[in-house]
Amino acid sequence: MTRFVRSWLGVAATTATLVFGGGQAFAQKELVFGLQCDRTGPTATVGVNLCPGYHDYIGLVNSKGGVEGFKIKVIEIDNEYKVPPAMEAHERFKKEGAVLEGLYGTPQTAALNKKLEEDKILGTSPGFGTAASADGKRFPYTFPIAASYWSQAGAAVAFAKERLGGSLKGKKIAYIFYDNPAGKEPLPILEDLAKDEGFEMRTFAVPAPGVEMGAQILDITGRFKPDFVIAHLFGRAPSVAIKELKGKGFPLSKVVAFVWGSAEADIIAAGGMGAAEGYNTIQFAGVGKDFPVLKDIEAMYKAQGKAAPKEMDSTVYYNRGVLIAALHVEAVKNAIKAKNGAAPTPEEVKKGMEAIKGFTLGGLVPPMEITPADHEGGGWVQIWTVKGGKLVKSKDWFQGYRPLIQKHLDADAKKS
Amino acid sequence: MFHREAGIFKTTYAADAALYPLPIAKWTIAALALIFVVLIPLTVHEYYLSILNLIFIAIVGALGLNILVGYTGQISIGHAAFMSVGAYTAANLAVKLGLPFWITLPAGGLMAAAIGVVVGMPSLRIKGLYLAIATLAGQLIIEWTINRVPAISGGAQASIEVDRPSLFGFSFNTQGSLYFFLLFFAVLAIVATLNLARSRIGRAFVAVRDQDIAAEIIGINIYRYKLLAFAISSFYAGVCGVLYTYYFGIANYEQFQLIVSIDYLAMIIIGGLGSVLGSIFGAIFVTLLPIVIRLFMEDVGSLFFTQAEMANVISGLRLGVFGGLIIFFLIVEPEGLNRLWRNVRSYFRVWPFSY
């Protein structure tokens, strides 16, 4: 059969399923995953590297015979970081019989929380959504599966404490953030920590779109003169912050950035890896190419006679895509095993996700433990630092001030 | 619609302004009602209902903007901000006071109307681009206020969760039941706008748009009518925001940013300024086109591209084709899809004897 004929058969088949509605794919031992992405909207720089990572890992699993004999089919929908298309995407995934879906974007996650619960399909929101959604009792079908902004704030302060010689008493910390809900979310944690650890904290809001922050940086370096800077910025803002801080002569080794300001692209846009020596970044997935799974993906491409995709060089986002895909596959694997090899329902996949423990993928995934109560998996992060033109691991997986985060989660649960 | 009008003569103004210009129009409406109320919900998959639901909400918002921009000629880039005013008003009333949707929905609309009048004040002194910038300021101020005032936004996340709307104990919590909920308000908005357009107020709006000095000379209080246009338009926007809030179960200001205002402007410009049908066409076009392009590419694209390329190609092509089609339609018919539709209709009206 030529490729042409095959494609037209495909058209006919799809049209048929569209006409007759909700064709189920269980007969051919296939599972459907839904993936929302943003390749064209304001966060496209993340999406174009993260989503290929997701597809490549799924491709790798399929090339090895699938997960427990089931092939995985991924439906990707670009929501352009807009909310209505996210709802449309969710309904499409549901129609195609998806057993789980990957969400993309904070407002999109907020808008789908309720729908996911009603439809009983789990959605993962690593680095998106709210810190409170780590609470599996309140948001049963939303899975952050990565350190929330609260956990990142705890980790940032813990890292600052370590760098400043083990005590923060009398020290000054500046928190520079993008002025939106996600930017403000860590404030309660930082305020509590300032009280507990006895440091002075001042906050500096950067208004959207975050490309102009000369005044804030001048305020930080000229007037406040902090011992450490915690930066929580998105989009173009991180590279501007690096450039401005460096321009004012502030040592970048005393700066730590949250997860969306910590990709190679941000650092390169600020003038190249060499110029950002010492810049610290928080990561929820391993960085670099030194992981067996990435070698396997390269080998898979080689076996097909192709070069490894260029997205692999953007290791921060690419590896996050691999992490999301790996956790999805692991959840499904748990669910299939629990059912002795039969195709799981979305609810069983949710239970499978809540059983993930000790799955590290050679160090790319943190030693997380997802439970019915904790959908964040513990809030593990690593710190990677720019050294000699590349990102180097400077602190292995750790949790910053976990008891305090837990206290806030409990308090937040009582409020609602 | 497709019907002949031979032998029908209008002898009074009332007949000329009637909602049903021809007796057969009643049958057309009855048929449409049958399709939308019975046929579609019974036969169509939930997925397609969810798309229709998004279209219904967009229709309400587009109608509101068209009243202001299309009928009255006052440009506004703050439409999304008025939606957020409605959304947060309704969400606060629903959560803090536990009020049902049939109170929160008009309340959200009224609050948006009140804010809309304030933002519309500059329209009394400035026009065109100047007014656009003034409403842009309104959009940014409202966004900032909601983001910064916890009493409105409900805390650092600036989002308030609301329960699904319910009526007499029945909860609208599936796409199927929300379909009827949203259809009701979309139809209400369409009928209200049709009636507004043929009333004294609607004619005054058109007079202000076409030549405001002339309108003033023939006795129209243009200040009053400009502000009224802002109020009515913002009321629609507020209701649209409330519908979004109930549809998603959350009020979140990030859903109502500047780009959404631009999207709605695009809808009415593509659909046709100053027409109800145009607003509907525009809402359908902007909501549906990206979905159709994607579904089409998923099938046909595999002829030319590998699976890995497809995701990027679909995303890029969606933007490209979307922009290209907007330009194409506006070159073919600058007055929008509504005019295109009317041209087609008038061609077939005399077909095949078009001499």
What is the pLDDT at residue B355? 59
What is the pLDDT at residue B3? 58
- Residue A180's closest chain B neighbor by CA? B147
- Residue B289's closest chain A neighbor by CA? A85
Alpha carbon separation from A103 to A57, A144, A315, B304 (Å, rounded): 17, 10, 20, 28
Q: How far is A275 from chain B (nearest CA, A)?
A: 32
Low-confidence winner among A3-12, B121-130, B341-350 (lowest mean pLDDT):
A3-12
**DSSP at B335:** T
* Neighbour-count burial of A223, counting CB atoms closer than 10 A to its CB (0-12 exposed, 13-18 middle, 19+ buried): exposed
Helix (H/G/I), strand (E/B), else coil: A386 = strand
Q: Is the pLDDT of residue A15 over 70?
A: no
**DSSP at B333:** -
Low-confidence winner among A100-104, B119-123, B241-245 (lowest mean pLDDT):
B119-123
Distance (Å, whole) CA A234 – CA A208: 10
Contact A95 B247 (CB under 8 A): no
CB atoms within 10 A of CB A27: 8
The tokens describing A171, both together, are 């020290």
Element (H, E) at A48: helix A44-63
Please choose, from the candidates A192, A130, A204, A13, the residue with its C-alpha nearest in 3D space to the C-alpha of residue B254. A130
User: What amino acid occupies position B52?
Assistant: L
**DSSP at A122:** E
What is the pLDDT at residue B202? 92
The tokens describing B5, both together, are 């009008």
**Mean pLDDT over residues B126-149, rounded?**
88
Q: Which fold has domain A17-147+288-363?
A: Rossmann fold (3.40.50)
Alpha carbon separation from A240 to A221, A227, A233, A306 (Å, rounded): 15, 20, 10, 36
Distance (Å, whole) CA A329 – CA A323: 10
Distance (Å, whole) CA B226 – CA A353: 57
Q: How far is B170 from chain A (nearest CA, A)?
A: 16
Q: Is the pLDDT of residue A7 over 70?
A: no
- Interface A-B, measured as beta-carbon pairs within 8 A, has a size of 122
Output the CA angle A79-A413-A381, nearest 5 degrees: 60
Range 308-347 of A in CB contact (< 8 A) with B: 309
Distance (Å, whole) CA B232 – CA B241: 14
pLDDT tens digits for range A313-335 = 889 999 999 999 999 999 999 99
Contact A40 B294 (CB under 8 A): no
* Domain with residues A149-283+381-415, CATH architecture: 3-Layer(aba) Sandwich (3.40)
Band of pLDDT at residue B1, cut at 50, 70 and 90: very low
Q: How far is B189 from chain A (nearest CA, A)?
A: 20
Band of pLDDT at residue A22, cut at 50, 70 and 90: very low
Helix (H/G/I), strand (E/B), else coil: A152 = helix
Q: How far is A87 from chain B (nearest CA, A)?
A: 8
Distance (Å, whole) CA A218 – CA A240: 13
Contact B47 A179 (CB under 8 A): no
Helices (H), A42-148: 44-63, 83-95, 106-119
ipTM: 0.86
**Mean pLDDT value across chain B:** 87
Please choose, from the candidates A349, A394, A374, the residue with its C-alpha nearest in 3D space to the C-alpha of residue A148. A374
- Residue A9's closest chain B neighbor by CA? B299
Of chain A, the percentage scoring pLDDT greater than 90 comes to 51
Helices (H), chain B: 13-16, 23-34, 40-43, 46-66, 79-96, 101-120, 128-148, 150-153, 175-197, 200-210, 212-217, 222-248, 258-271, 276-300, 307-332, 337-350
What is the pLDDT at residue A1? 43
Q: How far is B310 from chain A (nearest CA, A)?
A: 10
pLDDT tens digits for range A103-148 = 998 889 888 988 899 899 999 999 887 888 888 888 899 999 999 9
Query: CB distance from A142 to chain B under 8 Å?
Result: no
Q: Which residues of B touch A107 (CB under 8 A)?
A: 252, 254-255
Band of pLDDT at residue A272, cut at 50, 70 and 90: confident
φ, ψ at B321 (rounded to 5°): -65, -40
Band of pLDDT at residue A23, cut at 50, 70 and 90: very low
Q: Is the pLDDT of residue A403 over 80?
A: yes
Band of pLDDT at residue A265, cut at 50, 70 and 90: confident
- Residue A105's closest chain B neighbor by CA? B254
Task: Identify the residue with better confidence: A302 or B299.
Answer: A302
Please choose, from the candidates A385, A174, A175, A381, the residue with its C-alpha nearest in 3D space to the C-alpha of residue A279. A385
Say if residues B288 and B50 touch (Cβ distance below 8 Å): no
Decide whether A17-147+288-363 matches A149-283+381-415 in CATH topology.
yes
Query: CB distance from A114 to chain B under 8 Å?
Result: yes
Q: Is the pLDDT of residue A13 over 60?
A: no
Low-confidence winner among A100-104, A161-165, B251-255 (lowest mean pLDDT):
B251-255
Q: Which residues of B touch A106 (CB under 8 A)?
A: 254
* Neighbour-count burial of B98, counting CB atoms closer than 10 A to its CB (0-12 exposed, 13-18 middle, 19+ buried): exposed
**Mean pLDDT over residues A150-174, rounded?**
92
Task: Identify the residue with better confidence: A207 or B306.
Answer: A207
Contact B255 A111 (CB under 8 A): yes
Element (H, E) at A49: helix A44-63
Q: Is the pLDDT of residue B315 over 60?
A: yes
Q: What is the CA radius of gyration of chain B?
A: 21
Helix pair B128-148, B79-96: axis angle to 10 deg: 30
- Best A57, A184, A192, A206 member to test B by mutation, with max B CBs in 10 Å, is A184
Q: Which residues pair with A257 in a beta bridge?
A: A231, A281
Partner residue facing B252 (CB), from A48, A51, A111: A111
Q: Dihedral sign, CA of A391, A392, A395, A399?
A: positive
Q: Is the pLDDT of residue A5 over 80?
A: no
Element (H, E) at A381: strand A381-387
Q: How far is A163 from chain B (nearest CA, A)?
A: 29
Alpha carbon separation from B61 to A23, A284, A359 (Å, rounded): 34, 40, 48
Contact A113 B307 (CB under 8 A): no
pLDDT tens digits for range B264-277 = 998 999 898 889 99
Contact A55 B291 (CB under 8 A): no
Please choose, from the candidates A166, A118, A174, A165, the residue with its C-alpha nearest in 3D space to the C-alpha of residue A141. A118
Helix (H/G/I), strand (E/B), else coil: A155 = helix
- Residue B312's closest chain A neighbor by CA? A39
Q: Is the pLDDT of residue B345 over 70?
A: yes
Of chain B, the percentage scoring pLDDT greater than 90 comes to 39
Distance (Å, whole) CA A98 – CA A58: 15
Q: Which residues of B touch A118 (CB under 8 A)?
A: 173-174
Distance (Å, whole) CA A376 – CA A406: 11
Contact B161 A55 (CB under 8 A): no
Distance (Å, whole) CA A347 – CA A335: 9
The domains of chain A are located at: 17-147+288-363, 149-283+381-415
Contact A94 B295 (CB under 8 A): no
Q: Is the pLDDT of residue A20 over 50?
A: no
Low-confidence winner among A18-22, B42-46, B166-170, B189-193 (lowest mean pLDDT):
A18-22
Distance (Å, whole) CA A5 – CA B54: 36
Helix (H/G/I), strand (E/B), else coil: B43 = helix
What is the pLDDT at residue B327? 87
User: What amino acid occupies position B266?
Assistant: A
pLDDT tens digits for range A346-357 = 999 999 999 888
Quote the strand ranges of A249-325, DSSP E: 255-257, 280-283
- Best A24, A40, A90, A148 member to test B by mutation, with max B CBs in 10 Å, is A40
Low-confidence winner among A10-19, A27-36, A171-180, A327-336 (lowest mean pLDDT):
A10-19
Do β-strands A172-178 and A228-232 pair in parallel, antiparallel, or remain unpaired? parallel
Distance (Å, whole) CA A334 – CA A355: 7
The tokens describing B68, both together, are 């202001």
Q: Is the pLDDT of residue A156 over 90?
A: yes
Distance (Å, whole) CA B316 – CA B318: 5
**Mean pLDDT value across chain A:** 87
